[in-house]
């Protein structure tokens, strides 16, 4: 597959890079790193995102190369040779970007660490579900391209952010010895961990703190206090003057409570769709629960979206599913 991907890239002149809607540092960092790699091959390349770039990730895009999809991008996408997706799980999470590519028979490559049920649409792919981050998969790929060392610092910073965030700052059980090998190499190229960590993790707004206060005051417990969760309706966001992006890290915060095995957060979006995030300390998997609700993810970090329902029905269904699972 590596040889095939190299050949496809070699034969392509105009290349689009993209990741999933509501992007994180892993998807963005992977795309940004690959952008700088493709530039060394003299490719015409653009990163076009389906949704707004998160403020906390600006540290890894000093050249402002990431674009948010708009009608002005359509003609460029239509005339492209190749679309490369990073960290998407399923191609439909890139919305219009993939839709236009498919409509115009543009080749698609996927680089990911999520299980993917849509591989039949890809011209080629590298999917390693054992990898701690998609950035790790990109790092392994770039190592085989024998780039001149030290690597470009902007490329290295992007990959470090991808690895750092998807391993929970090297705390999650997806952290391996190879994770640290990658981090060590990137540090040798000039990455300064503190300069990446602070803008991403120590940059909370007052509205986010108000929302966190709401979560703490409204946390619920279930199944012998081994599960905790919170429900965030639109009223919760309105009363705290916060937005949905402010929930970042909240499910992990709930999981950190003593004796909790699983945490989840139910969030009402402005379009009436409910988003659910699951986290586990490792004793129980949660991706199977998310799959029951037409979602997915990793063993201990997963999520889903639910339409045409109400919060109370969703709450009861999730608690029932977890109850059955944890009694087994």
Per residue in 10-24, pLDDT (tens digit) is 999 999 999 999 899
What confidence tier does 308 reach under pLDDT thresholds 50, 70, 90? confident
**Using CA atoms, how far apart are residues 101 and 88, in angstroms rounded to an integer?**
15
Cis peptide before 150 (omega within 30 of 0): yes
- Give me the mean pLDDT over the 280-303 stretch: 92
Give residue 116's pLDDT.
Answer: 81
CA neighbor of 54 nearest in space, from 23, 88, 85, 18: 23
Cβ pair 76, 83 in contact under 8 A: no
What confidence tier does 92 reach under pLDDT thresholds 50, 70, 90? confident
**What pLDDT, in 10s, does the model give residues 175-202?**
999 999 999 999 999 999 999 999 999 9
**Using CA atoms, how far apart are residues 59 and 108, in angstroms rounded to an integer?**
28
For the chain, domain boundaries: 2-201, 206-327
Report the greatest alpha carbon distance in the chain.
Answer: 59
Give residue 327's pLDDT.
Answer: 85
**What pLDDT, in 10s, does the model give residues 121-143?**
999 999 999 999 999 999 999 99
Give residue 82's pLDDT.
Answer: 97
**Using CA atoms, how far apart are residues 326 and 328, in angstroms rounded to an integer?**
5
Q: Tell the residue number behind the tokens 């653009």, with chain if given.
A: 46
Q: Tell the residue number behind the tokens 């792919």, with chain if given.
A: 125
* Confidence check: pLDDT of 99 > 90: yes
Antiparallel, parallel or unpaired: β 14-19 and 44-49: parallel
Burial class (CB in 10 A: 0-12, 13-18, 19+), 51: middle
Cβ pair 87, 50 in contact under 8 A: no
Give residue 272's pLDDT.
Answer: 81
- Give me the mean pLDDT over the 72-89 stretch: 95
The two tokens of residue 284 are: 């129980």
- Give me the mean pLDDT over the 261-285 stretch: 93
3-state secondary structure of 118: coil
CATH code of domain 206-327: 3.10.310.30
The two tokens of residue 247 are: 């929930």
Antiparallel, parallel or unpaired: β 82-86 and 14-19: parallel
Long-range contacts of 146-149 (CB under 8 A, 24+ apart): 147/37, 147/40, 149/189
**Using CA atoms, how far apart are residues 327 and 293, in angstroms rounded to an integer?**
20
CA neighbor of 6 nearest in space, from 142, 154, 151, 170: 142
What confidence tier does 270 reach under pLDDT thresholds 50, 70, 90? confident
The two tokens of residue 29 are: 């960092």
Mean pLDDT of the chain: 94
Q: What does the DSSP 8-state code read for residue 112?
A: E
- Give me the mean pLDDT over the 158-167 stretch: 97
**What pLDDT, in 10s, does the model give residues 41-53?**
999 999 999 998 9
Q: What are phi and psi of 53, to 5 degrees?
A: -70, 125
- Give me the mean pLDDT over the 236-265 stretch: 95
CATH 3.90.1640.10 for the 2-201 domain, yes or no: yes
Q: What are phi and psi of 302, to 5 degrees?
A: -150, 175
């Amino acid at each position: 597959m590596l040889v095939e991907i190299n050949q496809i890239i070699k034969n392509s002149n105009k290349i689009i890079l993209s990741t999933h809607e509501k992007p994180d540092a892993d998807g963005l960092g992977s795309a940004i790193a690959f952008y700088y790699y493709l530039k060394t091959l003299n490719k015409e390349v653009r990163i076009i995102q389906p949704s707004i770039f998160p403020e906390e990730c600006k540290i890894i895009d000093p050249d402002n190369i990431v674009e948010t999809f708009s009608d002005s991008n359509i003609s460029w996408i239509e005339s492209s040779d190749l679309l490369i997706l990073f960290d998407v799980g399923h191609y439909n999470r890139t919305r219009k970007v993939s839709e236009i590519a498919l409509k115009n028979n543009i080749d698609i490559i996927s680089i990911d660490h999520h299980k993917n049920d849509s591989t039949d649409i890809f011209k080629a792919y590298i999917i390693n579900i054992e990898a701690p981050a998609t950035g790790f998969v990109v790092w392994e790929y770039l190592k085989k391209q024998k780039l001149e060392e030290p690597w470009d610092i902007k490329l290295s910073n992007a990959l470090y952010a991808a690895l750092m965030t998807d391993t929970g700052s090297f705390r999650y059980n997806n952290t391996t010895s190879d994770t640290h090998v990658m981090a060590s190499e990137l540090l040798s190229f000039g990455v300064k961990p503190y300069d990446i960590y602070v803008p991403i993790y120590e940059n909370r707004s007052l509205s986010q703190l108000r929302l966190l206060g709401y979560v703490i005051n409204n946390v619920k417990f279930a199944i012998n206090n081994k599960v905790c969760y919170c429900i965030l309706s639109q009223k919760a966001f309105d009363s705290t003057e916060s937005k949905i992006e402010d929930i970042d890290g909240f499910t992990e915060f709930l999981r950190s409570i003593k004796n909790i095995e699983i945490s989840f957060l139910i969030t009402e979006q402005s379009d009436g769709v409910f988003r659910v995030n699951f986290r586990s300390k490792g004793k129980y998997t949660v991706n199977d629960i998310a799959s029951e609700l037409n979602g997915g993810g990793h063993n201990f970090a997963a999520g889903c979206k639910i339409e045409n329902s109400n919060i109370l029905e969703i709450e009861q269904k999730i608690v029932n599913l977890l109850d059955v699972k944890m009694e087994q």
